[in-house]
Amino acid sequence: MRKQLSAHAYPRAVDFVTELPKTPSGKIQRFLLRKAEIEKLEAAATPAA
């Protein structure tokens, strides 16, 4: 993929989840995915005590 696309166009990492958060109408709740990713990054940046 790196040879075919520019550096900004391909994903750096892929996380697999068992189930995506969805609304009652079936749409994916992307804001919850963003929130989880931000929390994961903040936890990694915070030094463990």
Cα separations in angstroms, 7 against 2, 14, 43, 48: 7, 16, 26, 32
> How many distinct structural domains can be found in the chain?
1
pLDDT of residue 33: 93
pLDDT of residue 49: 59
Total residues found in the chain within this entry: 49
Kindly state the DSSP code that residue 18 receives in the 8-state scheme: S
Q: Is the pTM of this model over 0.85?
A: no
pLDDT of residue 9: 85
Q: Which domain holds residue 31?
A: 1-49
Instruction: Name the pLDDT band for 48 (thresholds 50, 70, 90).
Output: low
pLDDT in tens, 4-43: 888 888 888 888 989 999 999 999 999 999 999 999 999 9
**Rg for the chain (alpha carbons), in Å?**
15
